[in-house]
Structure formats: C-alpha cells, structure tokens
A and B are shown apart, each in its own frame.
Chain A
Amino acid sequence: MNGAEAIIESLKREKVDLVFGYPGGAVLTLYDAVYKMKFPHILTRHEQGAVHAADGYARITGKVGVCFATSGPGATNLITGIATAYMDSIPLVCITGQVGTSLIGKDSFQEADMSGITTPITKHNYLVKRVEDLPRVLKEAFFIASTGRPGPVVIDVAKDVFAAELEYEYPESVELKGYTGLFLGDSDEIEAASQAMQMSRKPVIFVGGGVVLADMADEIRSFVKKTGIPVVSSLMGMGVMPSKDGCYLGMVGMHGTYTANMAVMQSDLLIGIGVRFDDRVTGIVEQFAPKAKKIHFDVDAAEINKNVVVDYRVCGDIRRTLPIFCKKVLRIKQDWRSHLLPWRAYLDKMKERYPLTYDAKDGEILAQHVIEMVSDYAKDDAIIVTDVGQHQMWTAQFYNFRHSRSFLTSGGLGTMGYGLPAAIGAKLAQPHRQVILFTGDGSLMMNCQELATAADNDIEVKIVLLNNGVLGMVSQWQRMFYGERYSQSQLKTKLDFIKLADAMGVKGMRVTEEDELDTAIHRMLATEGTVLLEVVVPPKENVLPMVAAGKPLNEMVLGAEE
C-alpha cells in the first residue's frame, strides 16, 4: 500500500463518506488512489468552494468535513475557508499536497509553507515527510478536529510520501501527551454557578454556537420550558430556540432585537452558554450587561475572561456540565415560572411594543419580506444557508428558525462567498432535506463558479438572490457614518444573473414585481434541481435596529416605526 492509499483507507476507517477537492501536480498520486479505490469525491470549481463545502457538510452532520487540494496555490486557496471554519469552531481535516521532500524550502514550483501559513487559523497542523507517520497523523487529526472545541486541522503531505510504500496499520487510539480530548468540567464550578441562580430575579440565558456544536439544544429547550428563563441568542446560536418560542427574545447584539438587548442590559444574571462574547454581541464591552452577575459555560478555558470578565466560570464540555447544572437549578426552586413572572411580563410587553419591523413603499419588494415568505413556504426541516451582509442579518432576524444545526452562516469571519459552496456541502450531507440559500449580488459572485458544481452533480440548492445592486452592508455604513459617500460599493453592473445561471446549467427566475413574488417562491421550491430566484430589492434599505460600533447595547437605532 502506498501513502495515498493509506490516506484513503484511513478516511474509510474514520467513516468519511465524501471528500471535496481539486486535483493538481502534488496530489496526482492521491487522486490516483481516489480513482482506484472509487472514493466518493466532489470536484468543485475552486479550492475555496471545496473547503466551504466540507465546512457545510460538517456543520450539518456534526462529522468532520474533509477536503483535498494541491500544493502552493491550491493549498493557499483553502485559507479563507480554513479561517472561516476556525472562527466558527467547525471540525475539518484539510489534506494538502506539498512539493517533494527534497524540494521543501527551496522556493520550488508551487511551494507554499502550509504549516506556517495556517498556524494562526488551525487547531493544529502537520507536515508529513515520512510515510510511516501518515496513519498516526490521520488518526490524531480526526481526533483533534472533532473533540473539545472543534476546529480545522491541516495535514500537508510531501508529494513523494503519497507514492512511498508502507506497512499500513491504523492506530486504535491516539497518544498525545498534551491533549486528552476530555473536558469534564468541575463540579464545584457547576455548584457555584447554580447557587448564583438562587438570588436572581432577572436571569437571561445567552446561547451561542457552542450549544449547536454540542447538540445541546434539546437540553436548553426543556430547561427553558420548565423554568421560563428568557433566552437570547448569538448569530451562531440561531435555531437553538425556536424563533416563535415565548421565552425566546431573539438575537442579541449589533443587529439584535430591542428586547434581547434590553434584557441583557437589565438582567441581574446572564448565563452565557457556548458563547465567546464577540464584539458584535457586546457592543462597547465595558458597558455590557452592567447589572448582571455572569456565568460562562465553555469547553475552551481560554474563552473565559477573554472579552468579558465573568463571576462564575464553568469550564468543560457542556454535554456534561449543563445537565448537572440544570438539574441543580431545578432543585433550588419548584416554581421558577411563577418566580420569574414579573420579569417575563415586563419583557413580553417590550417584545410587543418593539417588534422587528420593516416598511415597504409602494411597488418595492423588501428583502425582509422575501425572507419571511420563504420562511412560511419552506419545509419545516429546511436547511438555511446565508452569505454575508445585509441579507445575512435579515435572515437571522426574519427567518422563523425551528431546529438547531439547521442554519449555516459564516459568523465569526464573515466570509462573503461562503454560502453557495456551504449549501452544496449541506445538501450532499443530507440529500433528503430542502436546502435554501439566501445570498446577495455581492456575495454570490465571490464563488459563483460553484453554480456549475451544483448543476453538474445535480445538487439541489434553492438560491434566493436578493439583488439590490449594491454592496448593501458597506453602503449602509457609508450612508450612516460616511456622509453617503458610496465609495466602491455600487455594483452598477451589466451582469445578468439569469444568464449566468443558465450558462452554468442552473435554472434562473427573476422577480421585480411584488405580485409575482408568491408564485415565484412556490415555483422555485417546487422546481426540481438547483434554482436561482433573483428578487430585485431596493438599494437603500437599512438593517435595523442597530447598535453602532463602540456603543452600548441600549443605545439602539430603531426601525421604521421610530
């Protein structure tokens, strides 16, 4: 068996059933093994597409996503996708070809130091120069990527290693001196945190991506049902609570709901679970939740006290710590719901008074309205994917999320171009589920070549393109903070998205009139195959409410009503 075959065999042992990638000089032997061993592989049209697709696959399944790329430019094209996965803690194993061992360090053709380049954006990385190391490295890579706080791992393999012969034996377990993958948590910390609940009259639970990654949404939902504690969510925590749940206040932060932000600002106890208090959430960090004692649940000790100094830390895997905490809290009081009634009534009134709104002028179709309509017509278990920008925030605000692990978005890095390939990866992971991508005319163009990947492989993604002819979020900031000087944000373009879709083998439809919208959405969802529905929306709509950068959460610019 050669190194390339050993890699494929190891992927099989790790129960990988699909790889995304793009061949090239340094990985010819690897692709020869893919061919000979008939390993399922999707050829994207750009390496960035491959890594985002693997990311989408990982987010939906909870398994490790895998992608291949060749040395040099192939490998560096993965960088944005690796950084995207790293910021959102997504488990990936990226296998890149490197030039031959004798050529490493000589600025050889298509050489780039992947271990060096990816060190700041990977959980770990390897450069493999000896074939006998491959099985151990693969075993470790999958273990590291998927345990604790998940993240991407890069394995850079010298070209000659793929061809070298080895006695293949896949290790049963990993032996890493500095990493056990176990994050059990400390019962004293859990006890202290649950005691902190005793005195609280205005608690708020703040859920984030960590809850999704740990598949703990059901635990949260049942705890909230029993206690009636109100919940706010980060962008990455969308779907942990059903959007329409009575205890759910919405997204918190820069484009959060008024009620969610006020609840955090007035709360006397904030229970952060699997969150990292990102600056888009906290507003000016010194004035974040000033009245609240803070509890922070996280698997990563380095997240605790990183951005926000907390009073109670519960460091460990929430799959272990959270159920114990919930049980203890429920034992403190029998009647949590009635105890919290005044707080809930106060927030309910606020929710009623300050709902998320938008105000369409005659003849205009607003993106928010489109998203709401799609939300109404989509299947209950649809997978929702976004790109980055205004449409992303509107999706977070107006889509009616029903399930956890069903919303794919680049939250941490904010990667335009993430959506389409991620949607492809998600659909391939779970072909029975409807996959809907909300994107913009800026974002879609960043990886539009993947339309061909979708069409050629019959990957059914429903693309809702909200075309406002501008880079919406950039324009919004220029409108609000730069005296309407729209520098380089107006896409005055000759681009015809329907023809583009057509050229790639994707069915396209365009809607410009409000009265066509309903039929068009129905047709898009009913038509087989990948469909692109372009909806022309006005260029000057703002995402509101909004907390300007450097302001506290209670200084919000509100919506149309104010």
Chain B
Amino acid sequence: MRGFAKWTVWVVVAALAALPGWAAAKTLKIGSLSPLTGQYAADGNDIKQGVEIAIAQWEAKGGVPGYDEIEYLPQDSGCDGKQAVSAANKLVNLGVVGVIGAYCSSATLPASEVLMEGDVVMITPASTNEKVTERGHKLMFRACGRDDDQAKVVVEFLSRELKAKRVAIVDDKTTYTAGLAKNIKKFGKGKLEFVAHEHVNQGDKDFSGVLTKIKATRPDVLYMSLYNPEGNLMAIQARRLGLKAALMSEDAVYHPNYLTIAKDAGEGTFFTFGQPPSEDIPEVAAFIKAYSAKYGKPGSYSAYAYDAANILLGAVARVGADDPGKLAEAIRATRMQGASKYIQFDEKGDSGSTYKVLVVKDGKFVPYWDPETGKRY
C-alpha cells in the first residue's frame, strides 16, 4: 500500500490530461465516425479519406465563409455500438457542428441517439438500414440509399431479368445484412422461391460447410448479404465447390478488393450499388481524379463520404452553424450533383436511392441493368 498516495496524484494528473483543451480561434469542427481499426477498417478508412478530400478542396477554394479554418476530427467507432457511443460523446464535447458517419448500422443507431441529444447534425454515408431515418430525428440524414429500396431492385432483377426461380440467401446477421435479407424475402414472396436462408458470423473464414449445404438445394442464385472480407472469401469457395448458381451481392461487398481477391471466381457476380460512378459526369470525374492522386482507387463508400462532407460544408457556408435547426433545414434544401448521385433530401432525411445492377466483367465492375427502364445497358 506504500506509494498509494503518490499514485493517486498520478491518477488525478492523468485524468486532467484527459480533459481536452481547445483553441479560441473561429474554427469549424466536423467529425466523422467510422471503423478505423478492426475488421471493417478498410471501408472505414475510405470514409475518412473521402471526407479529407472534400475538406482539402474547400480549403483550396479559400475555406468555408465565416470560419478561419476547418478542423477535422475523425473518430474510430468500430462496427460496435459501445465504441460508437463513446466516440459520439467525445465529438459532442469537442463541439463539432456535424458528423459524417457511421459505417455499420449497428454503430450508427446508438451513436445517433447521443448526437441528436447533443444537437449535432449527422449524415451517414453508409448505413442503409431503414430505422436510421425512420425515428423522426430532424438532424439525421443519409447520403446513401435504403435497404428496402435495394431489396426491391434485387427482387425485380432476379425475377424479371435473370428469370431465376430458386434463390439461396446467406447473411451475417448484422443490422444491415439481416435487414436486407428480410426485405428481399418480403418483396420476393410469390415471385421467387427461397430454397435456403443461412447465417454466418462476422469474421468467419471457412464457408465450405454451409456452401455444401446450399449446393444440395440446387439454387439458381446465391445471394450474399455480407460485408467485404467475407464476401470475397465466399465467392472463391462457392466456385471451388462447383456451385454453378449466379452470384449476387450488395454494396458492402462492392469494393476493388473483390476483384483482386476473388479473381476469376468473382467473374459474373452481380451487385446492387448506387449509381456507378460514370466518369462522363464532371463532378464524378473530378472526385475520382482528386482521390486517386492522393489515396489510389476510391473504395465503395469514399464517394458517399465525400458527398456527405460537401453537403455539410455547403450548408454551413450558406447559413452558418450556430443554429443546428437552421443548418438541418439548409441540408434538407440541398440540391446538387454529387460524386455518388444527384443529391436531393426528402422529409425524413433520405437522399433517395439510385440502385443499379452491376456485373463483374473481365475484372471490372460494369453497369448491367437499370431498374427504372427494366433493361440492360
């Protein structure tokens, strides 16, 4: 017990050191929540880098009117509610006006409760679960699409274009993937026969057992409602087992890694994803150029994060950030061509879904089918 008093002093010093201090200059603080470590760090970094590109461009143009500088405070939220809540608390305390994030719906939902209580605007670039904008929060926005819209496109595509009958689904039971699987089954009732619905856990590597089981049900399509690392692995293993069914997946697996890792096994896989970045649109081209110059190929959420940051900074430039309510109204009124789609918010804070079907052809993602016209490109 000797030296205990001395240690007590150290604890106090450490606790005081933990108190963040901040400068008095007129700084615009924006934060982000995304997984920077752990399993989904790849997508989380894409989000962080997307926001960084947007901020760099604003600064190059002379910054946001009314502010001397922009301070960006990226936080690691993991894919985990607890970590996200703690990071959100920290951001509220640091006095951010808006937060881009989070990635997993299971982190976004609890974190948003904290941010809403702290009157901080939140724009998620990646969480597509319906609940995110269905809770009536005025400060909650979504730059990406919604699960139920995505599910409708999937069902239309499978039944009308592929003329598939027997569909097997695998999900990893997270808010996003399980929600999507449920919606597909709901909208596909009567149109498709769901011969198998299996679940795996996040972090699994070997799917041979479950794929062999699925193969025995002779599906026409294997729908992989997963996140990226598991999706890559499952595609390889499915082909290796000789599963002939068409593969289809969603935006969380859509990533350049899918092409390099799954290689030939990924050939012909269909994806739903919000408007594939066509380089004909100048805004998209500009983004891809700026991003590639600094970080290499954009990941699947880079463009959404970039747009979300531009929406936020644009709204601040118009009405300032002193009144969160006014800021939210300015965001709601945003109309602009972004790098991911044309942005236009509705009452709930959704910016509309632009899901299209893509296919992997010769090691590239190419547009395949447009749900609006019901035709191939």
Q: Do A and B bind each other?
A: no
| A interface residue numbers (CB < 8 A to B) | none
| B interface residue numbers (CB < 8 A to A) | none
